């Protein structure tokens, strides 16, 4: 059922741009995006709301077209060979794709028939996938009676009916409880490692990207701000991260002045009532920081020291924490603030 395999990366993207034009305004959704995904690996496309993730996925799944740049999926050009691309990919969108008043089997068979499978082959494949995802006992029940985690697995199973080589998962675990999320993580890892699929995963969850992706591409404002393996990105940040939260938000400016005078404090940034910095020997540095703030009569409500996390990577390259980027992108969200060291 799957299309012929062409050699090279499963996904290759170079210089993609896209501007949405409404009557009164223009939005530059993609501003020159480049990355590639190898077969058998998961690539995490990470960024806050409005960063350009869905636009990238829409172009790669042939649902939209780029203004400029090139992209191939499974070796096929998304603009010139859209039909071949569609047969080579599975796509699970943010919104549920199954019919709630169909059974699991009916949903799967219909998905297979859409891809031109015979009724018999589709039924066989549906049975295989229900087994594979641990859904066989519920296959004859209406999908609306399934749990959220089971419904999400049904969406993924439907996207796999025609044995695609490349799978696009747009925020696959949003809204799932922790147990269903862990279960879905195991399935996604299995699809890449054991079945050899290339998986492009968009996510808002840093820990999801850290857990699943062999490579990360962090986008913000339509540009790639950094890419690499999660470990390499974290290793690239030397030293520990310290964060101090002030009891009195109006004292942040003064506290920032105190900390920027300390020799071992680097890359000082301010995010609402919290000051963050990179330091060598985090434990000793935190004591020094707390002593300096105490001497200036500045009170803290919390203080932490930690090894670099993906949030620190994000802060370094996007200039703000992931949480504040998310908050800034929703109406009424709290805007970011920064202080240079
Ligand atoms: N059809 C459209 N018309 C106009 N602007 C759009 C359209 N689709 C997206 N945009 C804008 O393009 C930018 C990128 O949007 P996109 O949906 O790609 O981001 P995203 O990273 O997927 O965000 P989310 O996580 O919220 O899905 C945003 O500013 C968005 O408002």
Task: Single out the residue of 329, 244, 330 nearest to residue 289, CA to CA.
Answer: 244
| Sheet (strand 274-279) strand order | 266-271, 274-279, 240-246, 300-306
pLDDT tens digits for the chain (341 residues)? 444 555 689 999 999 999 999 888 899 999 999 999 999 999 999 888 888 999 999 999 999 999 999 999 999 999 999 999 999 999 998 889 999 999 999 999 999 999 999 999 999 999 999 999 999 999 999 999 999 999 999 999 999 999 999 999 998 998 888 898 998 999 999 999 999 999 999 988 888 988 999 999 999 899 998 899 988 888 777 788 899 999 998 999 999 999 999 988 888 988 888 999 888 888 888 999 999 999 999 999 999 998 878 887 887 777 777 777 777 665 444 332 222 22
Residue located via tokens 């029940």: 141
226 shares a domain with 185: yes
Q: What is the best residue among 22, 45, 51, 333 to mutate for testing ligand 1's pocket, by most ligand atoms within 8 Å of CB?
A: 51
* Structural domain count, the chain: 2
CA angle 315, 267, 209 (to 5 degrees): 25
240 shares a domain with 229: no
Residue located via tokens 């969200």: 333
- CA–CA dist 138, 306 (Å, integer): 44
Q: What is the best residue among 54, 63, 92 to mutate for testing ligand 1's pocket, by most ligand atoms within 8 Å of CB?
A: 54
Closest ligand 1 atom, residue 52 Cα: 18
pLDDT for res 340:
27
Q: Is 55 in the pocket of ligand 1 (CB under 6 A)?
A: yes
188 shares a domain with 92: yes
223 domain-assigned: yes
243 shares a domain with 181: no
Give the distance (Å) from ligand 1 centre to CA of residue 97. Answer: 20
Chain centroid, CA 136 distance in Å: 30
320 shares a domain with 181: no
Q: What is the best residue among 27, 31, 61 to mutate for testing ligand 1's pocket, by most ligand atoms within 8 Å of CB?
A: 27
The ipTM (two decimal places) reads 0.96
Closest ligand 1 atom, residue 58 Cα: 18
219 domain-assigned: yes
How many other CB atoms sit within 10 Å of the CB of residue 175? 12
Q: Is 49 in the pocket of ligand 1 (CB under 6 A)?
A: yes
Check which CATH number belongs to the domain holding 276 and give it.
3.30.70.980
296: domain range?
A: 236-329
340 domain-assigned: no
pLDDT for res 92:
94
Q: What share of the chain is helix, strand, coil (3-state, %, to 5)?
A: 40, 25, 35
Q: Is 52 in the pocket of ligand 1 (CB under 6 A)?
A: yes
* Chosen domain end from 233, 266, 293: 233
Specify the pTM: 0.81
Q: Is 27 in the pocket of ligand 1 (CB under 6 A)?
A: yes
Give just the sign of the alpha carbon dihedral 141, 144, 147, 149: positive
Q: Which residue owns the Cα nearest ligand 1 atom 25? A: 49
Q: What is the best residue among 21, 29, 46, 333 to mutate for testing ligand 1's pocket, by most ligand atoms within 8 Å of CB?
A: 29
- CA–CA dist 236, 230 (Å, integer): 10
One-letter-per-residue 3-state SS of 47-83: CCCCCCHHHHHHHHCCCCCCCEEEEEECCEECCCCHH
Q: Is 50 in the pocket of ligand 1 (CB under 6 A)?
A: yes
- SS3 at position 264: coil
* Chosen domain end from 185, 218, 233: 233
Taking each helix axis as running N to C, give the angle between helix 148-160 and helix 178-193, from 0 to 180 degrees, rounded to the nearest 10: 20
208 shares a domain with 161: yes
Q: Which residue owns the Cα nearest ligand 1 atom 17? A: 54
69 shares a domain with 39: yes
* Chosen domain end from 215, 233, 251: 233
């Amino acid at each position: 059922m799957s299309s012929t395999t062409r050699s090279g990366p499963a996904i290759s993207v170079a210089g993609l741009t896209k501007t949405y034009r409404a009557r009164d305004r223009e939005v530059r959704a993609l501003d020159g995006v480049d990355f590639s995904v190898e077969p058998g690996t998961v690539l995490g496309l990470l960024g806050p709301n409005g960063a350009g993730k869905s636009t990238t996925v829409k172009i790669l799944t042939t649902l939209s077209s780029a203004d400029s740049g090139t992209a191939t999926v499974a070796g096929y050009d998304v603009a010139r060979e859209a039909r071949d691309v569609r047969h080579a990919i599975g796509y699970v969108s943010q919104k549920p794709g199954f019919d709630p008043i169909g059974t699991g089997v009916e949903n799967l068979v219909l998905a297979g028939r859409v891809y031109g499978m015979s009724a018999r082959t589709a039924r066989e494949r549906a049975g295989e996938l229900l087994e594979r995802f641990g859904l066989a006992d519920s296959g004859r029940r209406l999908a609306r009676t399934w749990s959220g985690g089971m419904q999400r697995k049904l969406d993924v199973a439907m996207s796999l009916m025609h044995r695609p080589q490349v799978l696009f998962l747009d925020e696959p675990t949003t809204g799932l409880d922790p147990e269903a999320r862990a279960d879905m993580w195991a399935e996604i890892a299995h699809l890449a490692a054991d079945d050899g699929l290339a998986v492009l995963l968009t996510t808002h969850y840093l820990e999801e990207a850290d857990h699943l992706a062999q490579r990360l591409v962090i986008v913000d404002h339509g540009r790639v701000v950094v890419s690499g393996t999660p470990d390499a990105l974290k290793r690239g940040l030397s030293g520990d991260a310290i964060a101090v939260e002030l009891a009195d938000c109006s004292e942040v400016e003064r506290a920032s002045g105190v900390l920027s005078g300390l020799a071992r404090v680097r890359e000082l940034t301010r995010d609402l009532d919290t000051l963050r910095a990179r330091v060598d020997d985090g434990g000793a540095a935190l004591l020094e920081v707390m002593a300096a703030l105490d001497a200036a009569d500045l009170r803290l409500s919390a203080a932490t020291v930690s090894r670099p996390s993906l949030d620190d990577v994000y802060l370094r390259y996007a200039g703000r924490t992931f949480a504040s980027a998310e908050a800034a992108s929703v109406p009424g969200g709290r805007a970011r603030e920064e202080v240079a060291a």
